[in-house]
Structure 1
Amino acid sequence: MRIVLATDAWEPQVNGVVRTLSRITAECRAMGHEVEVVEPSQFKTIPCPTYPEIRLALGAEEEIRERLRAFEPEAVHIATEGPIGIATRRICVEWKLPFTTSYHTKFPEYVSARFPIPVQVGYAYMKWFHKPSGRLMVAT
């Protein structure tokens, strides 16, 4: 199976999200699946305000669109709610391409602690982001 994994969190970051996604990718490949990881180092990025170790791939939607078209995935998994996740979600919705998503962290609390954005706004965004997903994966 050809699988696209779209994520804003990837190596060399060291955190639970990257660890989980790396393991899932390795297991899928060991099972014979072809996994195309769409991640920040493949695009022009800017440092995340207040957390410069995280790179944000802004303006990557057209390149992601081209990669999806060329790869012809049988499955798309969107692991994060950042710029890569948003762009991939938008493409999947536009193309009526089924996709799954992940919930890895308390993103609304994380954002609220760093920016003047109420937690409730963050949860409204999360609901909007995950609603069209066929399934939602939660790592435990």
Structure 2
Amino acid sequence: MVRIDPNIGILAWKSGSPEFPHWLNTSYRDRVHFRRDAFIELRAMGSGDQGTYEVQTIYYGSELLNCDRFELRVVEPMSTPTVEVSCNSSHLMLNCSTVSGCPVTYRWEQRSQDPSVENATFPGAVLYLPHTGQLNYT
């Protein structure tokens, strides 16, 4: 098993003892497991592990029987968003933030209780609303 770009050898095994790797890259030692039921299990993967991987099955070291490639994408969970609200005489400001290892896209959606008022969306972490004293939005 190799990672294509950058080219990193990860794991090699022999058919005589498939449950134990013949060779294992030290940076993957506790994260890659070759299971007896012929599955390779990747654990504790992070965004730095994203990329294309290839698993080769070779018969007697020269005849390629099988070559499978797969793309690995890692999505890191983010914390629950926090919204800070500040208000003065002219406007109301909503500021959304979260702790995350990945880039986050923020979008505000304004929904009016009045069917004659059109709903709207606004991009960004901060939303400024004019303070009219009669805001009736969700």
Shorter-chain TM band = under 0.3
- TM score, norm. by length of structure 2: 0.21
Q: Larger Rg: 1 or 2?
A: 2
- TM score, norm. by length of structure 1: 0.21
Bigger proportion of residues as strand: 2
